[in-house]
A and B are shown apart, each in its own frame.
Chain A
Amino acid sequence: MTLDAAKIRKDFPILFQEVNDEPLVYLDNAATSQKPAAVLDALRHYYETDNANVHRGVHTLAERATADYEAAREKLRGFIQARSTKEILFTRGTTTGLNWVARSYGDANVNEGDEIVISYMEHHSNVIPWQQLAKRKKAILKYIELTPEGFLDVEDAKKKITAKTKIVSLTQASNVLGVVNPIREVAKFSHAAGAILVVDGEQSAPHMPIDVQTMDADFFAFSGHKMCGPTGIGVLYGKQSLLEEMEPIEFGGEMIDFVHLQDSTWKELPWKFEAGTPNIAGAITLGAAVDYLTAIGLEEIHQYETELVSYVLPKLQAIEGLTVYGPQETKQHTGVISFNLAGLHPHDLATALDMEGVAVRAGHHCAQPLLTYLGLSAACRASFYFYNTKDDADRLVAAILAAKEFFQHGSLEVR
């Protein structure tokens, strides 16, 4: 394998504990990732040595905090290959980023009868802001179909995206199916139709190299906590030409130029969008997470996760009664694998796996339109990251087999 996961694991203190008397196997990375010691140290270092408010004090700590905060912005710019730090807005996370685009760009550019196009595989955070925008503007929300294998139906996308389409918003990687979408291709025909393309990068940015210029996304939103950073911090990238034209969503301190009695003017990009004291510690700590991931290499992480999925997918498919949803091959596949065991509700299976120390997610994964589309009410999901090992994969398979045995043969309790 390309990357020494056994060595990397040692960077994550939380992984070395027992859960229900078993060594923890953490496979809920699509919900949130764990944090390496270097990131935890950066958080502590900031509060112990540099803590001050940014962009306002003239004292030394304020200067240091401001410099570190803006240095983090530069790290995030490099992380997604944006042209300028003016295009990097700090947010609370992907949800905030997508809501800002819908509220600001959407309200200014979408009118009655216009169309907004998303797909059936979107997370609720990339569904509801567009539903609400469509309701406000009497616009039409359309959904791109999936192929029977679970890929985005690109031919259907070409049909659904028309001259009436103002916004196309797509996830780069599904949080349920693990499938990776051809963003660059969709960007081409979205732009040809006169629409902008918004990309939900929540499940892709932590796992593969991102180049917003090559993919030609107009907006790209992602969260820090799924890429080894803290919760409550994320990034909205937007093309500078679009951001310049957009109105801020929130108003207050930090984002103003001049405040008069009846009117005010805004700071330049990116600060006009960052009202109030920002999540300074979060941004700086996310910068440390970028340093950590970059040192390992995003291409290496991507390749390693592909190898891990190639290892575990056939073992899961071989379990009788187990259904894996979405693509059955590792092509265009992230470390996210959703499945169900026949005759057993995913919550019961997840509880059994938890008793074996294996942490997975069970439920609708905030993707009810997708689960309905697939004819499901819930599913189990195992999601791998670069600190997971083949041993973790084996523990997952063994735990599923043990759960199957338990529920097939009933309780071990003597009646």
Chain B
Amino acid sequence: MALSKLDNLYRQVILDHSSHPHHHGLLDGSTNQIEMNNPTCGDVIQLQLLVKAGVIEDLRFDGSGCSISTASASMMTDAVIGKKVEDALTLSEEFSQMVQGNEKEDLDELGDAAMLSGVAKFPARIKCATLAWKALDQALTEKQETTVAKQLHCED
């Protein structure tokens, strides 16, 4: 059946993360927060970070999105909590390259997030996978309290 092709995208571990996301729900005290949306599909993500001495001590997310964006956010929290800010930014770049099909050999640092490499074959869904990481990037590099950033425009 044709839907077996979907296995390349919706691996079981992705479906698990999307139905039972990790670090979901918001923090009481956070140092950085951001809300970002993807106007093409209506997905919204809120990220809250607790950064101390250059280390991401905690990271939580909320919002509404498809299974790819939810799973990606969940996997991202697993990958970057406990990491230094600059290491998290490096991981973000690695993830971005991976979902565009520019895969490196060593993706161990990404953990479960490496399972999203199949997204590269579904160009329309790359932005679903990168939404959380883009939000993380901005939250770590911009100083303002809350930023609403947009990624795309719509066509019809």
**Chain A residues with a Cβ under 8 A of chain B:** 20-22, 30-32, 124, 175, 344-348, 351-352, 354-357, 361-366, 368, 371, 377-378, 402-403, 406-407, 410-413, 415
Contacts and interface: CB of A to CB of B under 8 A. Distances in A.
Given A366-B154, A411-B7, A347 B41 contact: yes
Contacts of A363: 40-42, 154
Given A351-B124, A364-B42, A413-B11, 16 more contacts: A345-B66, A345-B67, A346-B66, A351-B9, A352-B3, A352-B6, A356-B3, A357-B2, A363-B154, A366-B154, A366-B156, A402-B3, A407-B15, A407-B67, A412-B4, A412-B7
B84 interface: no
8 contacts: A345-B66, A347-B41, A347-B43, A348-B10, A348-B66, A355-B6, A378-B43, A412-B7
A366 B39 CA distance: 9
Contact of B156 (A354, A357, A365, A410): A365
Given A345-B66, A345-B67, A364-B154, A351 B42 contact: no
Contacts of B41: 346-347, 362-364, 378
B47 interface: no
Interface in B67-97: 67-68
Interface of B: 1-7, 9-12, 15, 39-44, 64-68, 122, 124-125, 128, 154-156
Contacts of A32: 156
Contacts of A412: 3-4, 7
A351 B156 CA distance: 19
A403 B39 CA distance: 25
A371 B39 CA distance: 13
Given A347-B128, A348-B68, A403 B3 contact: yes
Contacts of B9: 351
A355 B68 contact: no
Contact of B42 (A348, A371, A406): A371
A207 B112 CA distance: 48
B77 to A, nearest CB: 19
* Most chain B C-beta atoms within 10 Å of own C-beta, residue among A124, A352, A415: A352
A28 to B, nearest CB: 9
A378 B42 contact: yes
A413 B5 CA distance: 10
Contacts of A351: 6, 9, 122, 124-125
A363 B151 CA distance: 14
A355 B10 CA distance: 12
B156 A348 contact: no
A411 B2 contact: no
Nearest to B39: A364
Instruction: Give the top 3 A-B pairs by smallest Cβ distance, nearest first.
Output: A345-B66, A347-B66, A377-B42
A207 to B, nearest CB: 15
A240 B124 CA distance: 45
A20 B5 contact: yes
A411 B12 contact: yes
B67 A355 contact: no
A377 B70 CA distance: 15
Given A352-B3, A364-B154, A411 B15 contact: yes
* Most chain A C-beta atoms within 10 Å of own C-beta, residue among B5, B6, B12, B124: B6
B46 to A, nearest CB: 14
A265 B2 CA distance: 63
* Most chain B C-beta atoms within 10 Å of own C-beta, residue among A21, A365, A402, A413: A413
Nearest to B4: A412
Contacts of B10: 348, 406-407, 411
A411 B67 contact: no
